[in-house]
């Protein structure tokens, strides 16, 4: 079973306790009536869908119940790091280099 580190509980927990919450760091426009249709559609529907490291939200549903962010590799399903909501997005290129050198 996949173990995911919950940054709130500060421990590795089984994936069964978690729910996926979509891509992370997508801010809703502060004034929706001022953005163009294209920008609004982009906010609503378009996600990055990378092959590689993906920053996403997860919720520790059957645990502390909190949302947090995780960097997961979409090919290997490996969780590279997790961090609390509100913390800055990690440098993905540095993480990718670290993964590459650890091979």
Partner 1 sequence: MSDATITAARRSPLSAEASSLGGVTLTPGAPLLRLILRGAEAAEAADTAFGADLPRRPNRSATAGERAALWLGPDEWLLLAPESDAASLPASLASALAQAPHALVNVSHRQTAILVSGSGVEPLLNAFVPLELTEAAFPVGMATRTIFEKAEIVLWRTGSAAFHIEVWRSFAPYVWELLEAVRRENAAN
Q: Which residues contact 92 (CB under 8 A, 6 or more apart)?
A: 53, 55, 71
Shortest separation between residue 85's beta carbon and partner 1, angstroms: 11
| Nearer CB in complex with partner 1: 1/30 | 1
| Nearer CB in complex with partner 1: 53/70 | 70
Q: Which residues contact 14 (CB under 8 A, 6 or more apart)?
A: 1, 2, 3, 4
Shortest separation between residue 9's beta carbon and partner 1, angstroms: 5
Grouping H, G, I as helix, E, B as strand and the rest as coil, residue 75 is coil
Shortest separation between residue 20's beta carbon and partner 1, angstroms: 16
| Nearer CB in complex with partner 1: 16/75 | 16
Tell me which residues touch partner 1 (CB under 8 A). 1, 8-11, 13-14, 16-17, 62-66
Cα→Cα distances 64→3, 22, 58, Å? 16, 19, 12
Shortest separation between residue 14's beta carbon and partner 1, angstroms: 4
């Amino acid at each position: 079973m996949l173990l995911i580190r919950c940054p709130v509980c500060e421990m590795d927990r089984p994936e069964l306790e978690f729910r996926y919450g979509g891509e992370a760091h997508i801010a809703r426009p502060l004034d929706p009536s001022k953005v163009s249709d294209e920008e609004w559609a982009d906010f609503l529907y378009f996600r990055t869908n990378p092959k590689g490291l993906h920053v996403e939200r997860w919720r520790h549903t059957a645990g502390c119940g909190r949302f947090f962010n995780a960097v997961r590799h979409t090919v290997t399903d490996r969780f590279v790091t997790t961090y609390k909501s509100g913390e800055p997005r990690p440098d993905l290129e540095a993480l990718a280099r670290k993964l590459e050198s650890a091979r």
